[in-house]
Structure 1
């Protein structure tokens, strides 16, 4: 069993994935674990939308519509499974930015869990995440914002070897100023 530390250190975004994808049941299991992130007042201000097959075509058309183009963008075809990450803001004393942070935390935790389970993952965003056509395609409500998509597929067996990117933590960690 891999430790959380090892899983976090080994994680990397894979912009090219194969056509394999986790099943719905496997995804449900992983989402159940990812939803355990810190959540002030236990609001669960997030939801995920699973896009496979023709759903990706519909998203491609919505993206092109948002960009003022005809046809469909090929971007959603870059992975067999896309998981839309949605912040679902709740009426609460908890500010929207904090609720959005919870949704982002769930997405990041899910990306770690998917990576550890052997799947390739990358998080895609873009200006069209705020476009009306894209929001409509996802059935977003007035209290919701699309934060992007996790693109999920099989990890390629060929290519460059995975190297662990080192982070100079001393550049990002400091004491409280006096």
Structure 2
């Protein structure tokens, strides 16, 4: 975790489908109330990225395709798949899907791959949802862009946060 960073530029190398499945199996172990598995992933390679580029271009009102999906050889779409539940609210199901995405990004990084998570307003666009084949109970949360880490990286060490700013105690009860 101390060395993790986003790699906005990656090489054309990418994990194989089999390697990806192994990492997804581990990422799927995140905390998941009632074991609902309210998520799925879509693997985009090659021509799939071009289809996504056209969909994003359409969503943004551009005449041509977006260049964004072509910036990495592998994109992994993170999809929250909401299920009806009296015990597990929608926000918690989305949190599980986000947890899987974050865990997978850490596992990919640990395995030596460059990764960054891309979101944007077009994740909610109809053209983009259609390109991914999303059902009515699903939302696209974004994509993990995955590729090889460049050999010559100007990567500086990321600053560690000042934890005290983010951790507090519960306030003392008021004397009302």
Say yes or no: TM over 0.5: yes
State the distance in 2 between where 1:159 and 1:12 align: 12
Q: Which residue of 1 aligns with 2:38?
A: 45
Map of 2:79 onto structure 1: 86
The match for 1:12 is 5
Higher helix share: 1
TM-score, with normalisation over the residues of structure 1?
0.94
Q: Matches of 2:70 and 2:155 in 1, distance apart?
A: 25
Q: Is 1:165–2:159 an aligned residue pair?
A: yes
| Equivalent in the alignment of 2:92 | 98
Residue 36 of structure 1 is aligned with which of 29, 33, 39?
29
State the alpha-carbon separation in 2 of the partners of residues 103 and 162 from structure 1: 30
Residue number in structure 1 paired with 2:110: 116
Change in 2 beyond 3 A, CA 1:132/1:177? same
Alignment-derived partner of residue 47 in structure 2: 54
Paired with 1:161 and 1:42, the residues of 2 have a C-alpha distance of 38
Distance 1:95 1:45 in 2: 11
Task: Point out the structure with max Rg over C-alpha.
Answer: 2
More off after superposition, 102-111 vs 154-163: 154-163
* Structure 2 runs not aligned, ≥5 long: none
Number of equivalent positions: 171
For residue 123 of structure 2, give the secondary structure of its aligned residue in structure 1.
helix
- The alignment yields a C-alpha RMSD, in angstroms, of 0.8
Match of 2:137 among 125, 135, 143: 143
TM-score, normalised to structure 2's length? 0.95
Query: Paired residue for 1:126, among 110, 120, 123?
Result: 120
For the pair 1:177 / 2:171, whether they are aligned, the reply is yes
CA spacing shift, 1:70–1:24, aligned 2, 3 Å = same
- The Cα shift of 1:9 comes to 1.5
Q: Which runs of 5+ in 1 are unaligned?
A: 1-7
Shift >2 Å, 4+ stretches: none
SS in 2 for 1:85: strand
1:57-72 → structure 2 map (5 Å cutoff): 57-72=50-65
